[in-house]
Amino acid sequence: MRDSHEHAAARLPYRHVHDFLIGGDARPADGEARTPVVDPATGVAWGSVPDADGAMVDAAVAAARGALPGWATTPPSERASALRRMADAVERRAELLAITNSLENGSPLAETGGAAANAAGILRVFADMAWFLERSDVRVFPNGADETVVARDPIGVCALIAPWNFPINLVVIKLAPALLAGCTVVLKPAPTTPLSIRFLVEAAAEAGIPAGVVNLVTGGAETGDALVRHPDVDKVAFTGSTPVGRRIAAICGELLRPVTLELGGKSSAIVLPDADLDAMSRILVRSCLRNTGQTCYISTRIIATEANYDAVVEMAAATVGAARLGDPLDPETVFGPLASYAQRDRVRGYVRSGIAEGARVVSGGDVPAPFPEGAFLVPTVFADVRPDMTIAREEIFGPVLTILRAESVDEAVAIADDTPFGLGGIVFGRDEDAAFDVARRIDTGSIGINFFASNHHAPFGGRHDSGLGVEYGIEGLSAYLTPQSVHRRRR
């Protein structure tokens, strides 16, 4: 595996970089601090990036501020055309982007291979929303004599902070609406996935988006903190953990700065007595353990009633146990390594916690991974999980599935809602009207009937500890706009 990964890395245009992308130029780092990029499948450091200090953050924000007037006054239809050209440019970089992403965080090619197409799709969907910015919105006063023109202006310079699990798509769902709205941006990827995002900046330049509209800095928590606190940033959008999101929310609250937060989850899949378990098995990994369990909205808690509990356990154990764990660059791999050794050790701690608290291992468990190196963990399914167990309450963010028992559908709903999170969820049942009624009882931002997927036209966001605000849809675009009401006499 090591040799093949080193050969793959040698093909990549971005490995050890020494600059930031600011104002349309490659700006050399002026400090010595660097962050290595480590392949979690082999443990080999194959790339590195510089850490941006306060001066570089200042330069990136200044470039975005300088580009704002020109981009904000560009007609929405022209901005939309630029997004469509950028979508084409991203798709042309699909293969190298996917390999870079897989070598950064261990996501299988089966996952990263679709990142460019998905990103392009998001860009095109938002491009098609230009009508929202170009329409005339006139509202008559209650007295009928006067009227108000509601205009929408770009909110300004935006700090977009991406996570490591889906480093491309989870920044594009921020970047696309920001650009269409007329905002300028500073991107900061997660420290472990700083290279794949360069393909986006490259594609933006190729699309003719003016210099300074999209800027990129890299670094760790100090860089992110400097960006969030910067006095010339008008909005922050962040995807990541709930603890970090709380800190960002506190800073933005102090500064009265708008913020969108897409945070953690502990979503549930309720299996109704009439559920089609064969159909469920075909989408189980995608819906409940996607990206080796490193996905915020997946339903890692399965809640089944007595009517089919044993059959659900048997199906889940067989499905997860049969899915290939292996080389993320093998297109047949379903589960790759965890994104880092630290993440592997954290998830292993949860597996051991489940065993210690009395959950029953039906697949995997605290067993050695079949590879001599890398951050691999054997995917694990627990049965007989009680709602008070640690593995049933805390976000694990790894390939660990818990199956809980409910005496009734009402109890299943109560268990699903017994969490501080509220991000995703699924209800499985043959009677889709009945499943819909159950879904409407769950206190969560998004939920699916017999499947889960993000609809780029519909809002996606969490409730409670899962975040603030939404992304996607007109609602996601509106997060990058600030309205102005202009009152006038009716003609």
Q: What is the pLDDT of residues 179-197, one digit of tens each?
A: 999 999 999 999 999 999 9
Q: Which of 183, 158, 172, 150 is nearest to 73 (CA)?
A: 183
- What's residue 416's pLDDT? 98
Residues belonging to the active site: 262, 296
pLDDT tens for residues 80-102?
999 999 999 999 999 999 999 99
- What's residue 41's pLDDT? 97
Q: Can you say how many angstroms the Cα of residue 346 is from the centroid of all Cα atoms in its chain? A: 20
Cα separation, 7 vs 99, in Å, equals 11
Residue 150 has pLDDT above 90, yes or no: yes
Listed in sequence order, the residues at least 6 apart from 133 whose beta carbon sits closer than 8 Å to its beta carbon are: 76, 152, 180, 181, 182, 481
- What's residue 436's pLDDT? 98
Q: Tokens representing 198?
A: 């360069």
- Mean pLDDT along residues 103-108: 98
Q: What is the mean pLDDT of the chain?
A: 97
Q: pTM here? A: 0.96
- What's residue 31's pLDDT? 85
- Mean pLDDT along residues 56-78: 98
Q: Which of 436, 421, 381, 429 is nearest to 404 (CA)?
A: 381
pLDDT tens for residues 15-56?
999 999 999 999 999 888 999 999 999 999 999 999 999 999
Domains of the chain: 2-263+466-485 (3.40.605.10), 268-455 (3.40.309.10)
Q: Can you say how many angstroms the Cα of residue 300 is from the centroid of all Cα atoms in its chain? A: 16
Secondary structure (3-state) at 226: helix
pLDDT tens for residues 266-301?
999 999 999 999 999 999 999 999 999 999 999 999
Query: Do 348 and 283 contact (CB within 8 A), yes or no?
Result: no
Q: Tokens representing 450?
A: 């017999």
pLDDT tens for residues 194-222?
999 999 999 999 999 999 999 999 999 99
- What's residue 491's pLDDT? 74
